Amino acid sequence: MTTATTRHSDRRISPVFLGICAVTAVTGWATWTGFAEKPGIAVFLFVTGAWIVSLCLHEYAHARTALHSGDITIGAKGYLTLNPLKYTHALLSIVLPVIFVIMGGIGLPGGAVFIERDRIRGRWRHSLISAAGPLTNVLFAVACTAPFWLDALDGVPSEFRYALAFLALLQVSAAILNFLPVPGLDGYGVIEPWLSYDIKRQIEPFAPFGLLFVFALLWVPQVNSVFFDLVDAVLHGLQVDRGEASSGWSLYRFWT
C-alpha cells in the first residue's frame, strides 16, 4: 500500500527553498569576493537567507525524525519539501525570527510543524523529535565557525568574516534558547515525556506563553547580560570574537 509519505512529490525540495538558497549563495559570494558595491545590503541578504535556510532545516529535522518515529502523515503536509510556507504558523516560523534578528540580533526560535504525537510510541522517540531541531542549529553553528578555527579566512574581505560571525551568533543563541526547558520550546519537549501526568496537566495552560515569557525576560538587563555572556563563551570556544559578530550585526542593519 502506498502512503502519502512514499510519494516522490512529498519529498521533492520546494522551489521556494531553492530560491532562498540561491539568494544566499549569490549574496554570500558577493560578500566573499568583495564584488558587492554596497556590502551592507549583500550582508543583509546573505545572513537573512542563511538564517531562513537554517530555520527550514530546523523544522525539517523535527519532521524527518517524526516520520521515522511513526507519524506517516508528515509527507502529506509538505514538511519534507523544506517549503517554509507549509509550516503550521509561517508567521511564527519565519517572519518573527527574522524581525527579532533585525531588532535585537537574537536567534529567536520559531515553530512549528504539526506532529501527530499519538502515532508515536516511546518516550525516547518523543524526546528525540524535540531535540532534532536545536541540534540542527548546533550543527549549523559548527559549520559557520569552521572557517574561523580552520584559519580559512585569510585574505577574505572583513565584511564576509563579520557576516559569518554574526550568523554563528544567531545559531548559538537559537540553540541555547531552544534547549531551555520552557513550555512551548523544544527543551521542554525533550523532558515532557518523562514528566508525570499531573505535572504536565499543570504546565499545559502556560505552554502558549512560554516563548513570550522568554522574550520578556531577555529585555531584563541582568538576564540579557547573563544570556549573552553564555553566547560569548560558546563563540569564544569556537574561536569567534564577539566584536566581529557585533560588527556583522552593524553591517546587517545597513539602513542605520
Can you tell me the distance from the alpha carbon of 24 to that of 17, in angstroms, rounded to the nearest whole number? 11
Supply φ then ψ for residue 115, to 5 degrees. -110, 130
Coil vs helix vs strand at 120: coil
The catalytic residues are 59
% of the chain with per-residue pLDDT over 90: 66
Please report which confidence band the pLDDT of residue 99 belongs to, taking 50, 70 and 90 as the band edges: confident
Q: Give CA separation, 166 vs 15, 24, 108, 173, 200, in Å.
A: 27, 15, 14, 11, 37
Position 2 pLDDT exceeds 50: no
Please report which confidence band the pLDDT of residue 110 belongs to, taking 50, 70 and 90 as the band edges: low
Find out whether the peptide bond into 245 is cis, omega within 30 degrees of 0. no
pLDDT for residue 101? 85
What's the mean per-residue pLDDT of the chain? 89
Please report which confidence band the pLDDT of residue 85 belongs to, taking 50, 70 and 90 as the band edges: confident
pLDDT for residue 204? 87
Tens digit of each residue's pLDDT (9 = 90 or more) over 19-56: 999 999 999 999 998 887 789 899 999 999 999 999 99
Please report which confidence band the pLDDT of residue 3 belongs to, taking 50, 70 and 90 as the band edges: very low
Can you tell me the distance from the alpha carbon of 232 to that of 189, in angstroms, rounded to the nearest whole number? 26
Position 71 pLDDT exceeds 50: yes
pLDDT for residue 222? 94
CA atoms within 13 A on the CB side of 225: 3
Can you tell me the distance from the alpha carbon of 79 to that of 134, in angstroms, rounded to the nearest whole number? 17
Position 149 pLDDT exceeds 80: yes
pLDDT for residue 164? 96
Please report which confidence band the pLDDT of residue 88 belongs to, taking 50, 70 and 90 as the band edges: low
Written as one letter, the residue type at 248 is: G
Position 7 pLDDT exceeds 90: no
Position 65 pLDDT exceeds 70: yes
What region, left, alpha or beta, does residue 78 occupy, with left being phi > 0 and alpha being psi -120 to 50 degrees? left
User: Rounded mean pLDDT of 50-74?
Assistant: 93
